[in-house]
Structure 1
Amino acid sequence: MITRPKSLKEVAERSTSLTEFGLNLRDWLHQLRRASSRAQVLAAVADEPPRLRARFAQGRAADAWLAAYAEYLAQKVRRAAPAWSFAPGRIALDPVFDESSDSPLLRALALAHAPAAFKRRNLFTPSVDLPLRLRAGRPAKTLDEKRKTNAERQRRFRKARAAELALLRKQSPRNRATAGTR
């Protein structure tokens, strides 16, 4: 079973062409929907992705997209963007418009409405697909994590009860003697 990339680093590691990059980035955005805390979001952008400019012709633009998403996400969760996202090589040489911005009107909208994190890297898109919905409280746990937590809780409970029972038996020798005569 193929899993979706969980970080921008994984997106870059799995990409050998611009088409693959686009698919991996889209999969990563779907995976990002599961993030429920700032820590999970920051973990998805923390590690520096390998440079893509040497892997395929449009790799420099892909590097810019990675940096733009990292900075934009950090802004959304009100944290500092990772230092790697400001590296000089993570800027597209020529303006890059979203594939949906083919008409002059859509290009004008992209120029006007692209977030600063994208404009700074010469990337223009009328909207950013960012399915981020952080929830208050603790981050969501997987079913496996819940099972492990519950099993550990049961072990602690049983150990505590066994210790209490041993202590009671030790403190009450008369109870042991009377229990043996019955």
Structure 2
Amino acid sequence: MGKQEIRQFITDQLNQLEHREQKEQQIYDHLFALPEWKNAQSIAITLSFRNECATEPIILKAWQLGKQVVIPKVIQQDMRFFEYLPTSPLIETKMGIREPDDQAKEQSLSSVDLCLVPGRAFTRQGYRVGWGGGFYDRVLADYHGHTVAIAFNRQLVPAFEVETFDQPVQRIVTESGVVVCQ
């Protein structure tokens, strides 16, 4: 299967997912038990999009624990990160992605302890299929913090063609537990 077919397959799988809230809570419980989460003073995370695992509860938990939260914004062909506070205004892109507005304070990803990396599909080696823009692969190439993905079991696939620029994550958290990659 090519990456576009994988994206469609996973979209169909997630649209049919039963007991979503229960599975999301299991993912959150596994994530919050990770040392990478517990020790992080700052996290980078996307605002969930379409039928992905909801990230709002993770953001709320981070704020409750006093962690700094940063979210991405695509500016031309670059993805940059901005501080996200409970009062931060958001704008919606033409793709329906919520991003910080122009007043948000930029943060360097290199200053962030934990990057929660989104994706449509993952291999157990940590490679991911995203939406096809390559934004995360480019920013993760120079990132030295911890990388964790959250995904439903249905998003784990046996294999796909890995390209030279693909950047694997270190851990994948699913409702069944934590996959240690590489």
TM range (shorter): under 0.3
**Larger proportion of helix:** 1
TM-score (norm 1): 0.25
TM-score (norm 2): 0.25
**Larger proportion of strand:** 2
